[in-house]
């Protein structure tokens, strides 16, 4: 048996530790291992190479992924999925570990329904928006990047009596925004899942500014598309000079934290163990209530992730 690992979609801190553990653990189990470069595009173009310890030496502390990634439009065409399958078979690859998010898993669900390919997905996205898992690789590192930025922005906001809007990633999910807001003491948080009650909040903040409040920090999830609205509200209605900081792709970078490295190890071990003992694997490794489990890919892609209710309630409880 030979196993391969690839990354798909957006990169996330923790992918490199997972790749290293995959090669090391496969070797420990006397299994040949392969690296797929450039994601789904690499599968199509046969950018697949046999792995060695040299390939993964010294990558544990690096962010991003040495395998690179891609978003492939060609993979939507069955003839290219056929080519990807033939490339895997030509290398004798029987099992595939896929580091990716929702879009990647949907692609693999389609792929495995058409061809005899065994895979286990490892949820890897800083948005933390994969159904069935409490945690995705990269989230802790991203939150620490945001936390560091918010702490520094608060310093200058207080020095100039300003309001600052910090836009964070989160296309359809407000996980990064609400957690960052809670741990930084932000006064405002705007996420896709909860209506922004600006009138009620505005009355309180306007009074606090009149009574001497020196600054306001607002965290806005990019998916709300409300950064400009919040800017105008803070500047015109609350009465504070306002600045906007869009963190952007800085949130995906940086050395993976201890937690992300440990989670990468555990996710990878459960994925490899399952592929070595099952010939009909179409699973996603998940972390639920402190335990690692495997869910059918159909269950994962047919449901939408929802924020925990206590996070939703916290939006309107910020100080």
Catalytic residues: 127
CA distance 27 to 22: 8
Quick one: 255 exposed, middle or buried, by C-beta within 10 A (0-12, 13-18, 19+)? middle
Tokens of 34: 């392969």
CA distance 290 to 93: 32
């Amino acid at each position: 048996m030979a196993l391969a690992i690839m990354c798909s979609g957006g990169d996330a801190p923790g992918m490199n530790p997972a790749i290293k553990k995959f090669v090391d653990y496969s070797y420990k189990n006397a299994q040949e291992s392969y690296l797929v470069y450039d994601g789904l595009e690499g599968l199509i173009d046969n950018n697949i190479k046999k792995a060695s310890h040299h390939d993964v030496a010294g990558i544990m502390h690096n962010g991003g992924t040495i395998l690179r990634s891609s978003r492939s439009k060609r993979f939507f065409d069955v003839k290219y999925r056929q080519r990807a399958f033939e490339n895997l078979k030509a290398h004798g690859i029987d099992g595939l570990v896929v580091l990716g998010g929702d879009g990647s898993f949907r692609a693999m669900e389609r792929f495995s329904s058409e061809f005899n390919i065994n895979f286990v997905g490892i949820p890897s996205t800083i948005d933390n928006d994969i159904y069935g898992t409490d945690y995705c690789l990269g989230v802790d590192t991203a939150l620490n990047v945001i936390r560091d930025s918010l702490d520094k922005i608060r310093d200058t906001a207080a020095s100039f009596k300003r309001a600052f809007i910090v836009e964070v990633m989160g296309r359809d999910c407000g996980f990064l925004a609400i957690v960052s807001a809670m741990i930084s003491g932000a006064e405002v948080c705007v996420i896709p899942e909860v209506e922004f009650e600006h009138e009620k909040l505005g009355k309180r903040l306007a009074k606090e500014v009149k009574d001497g409040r020196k600054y306001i920090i607002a965290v806005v999830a990019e998916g709300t598309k409300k950064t400009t609205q919040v800017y105008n509200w803070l500047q015109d209605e609350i009465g504070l000079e306002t600045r906007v900081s869009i963190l952007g792709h800085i949130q995906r970078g940086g050395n993976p934290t201890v937690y992300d490295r440990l989670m990468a190890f555990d996710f990878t071990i459960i994925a490899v163990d399952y592929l070595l003992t099952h010939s009909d694997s179409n699973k996603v490794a998940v972390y639920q209530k402190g335990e690692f489990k495997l869910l059918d890919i159909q269950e994962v892609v047919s449901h939408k992730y929802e924020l925990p209710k206590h996070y939703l309630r916290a939006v309107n409880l910020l100080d």
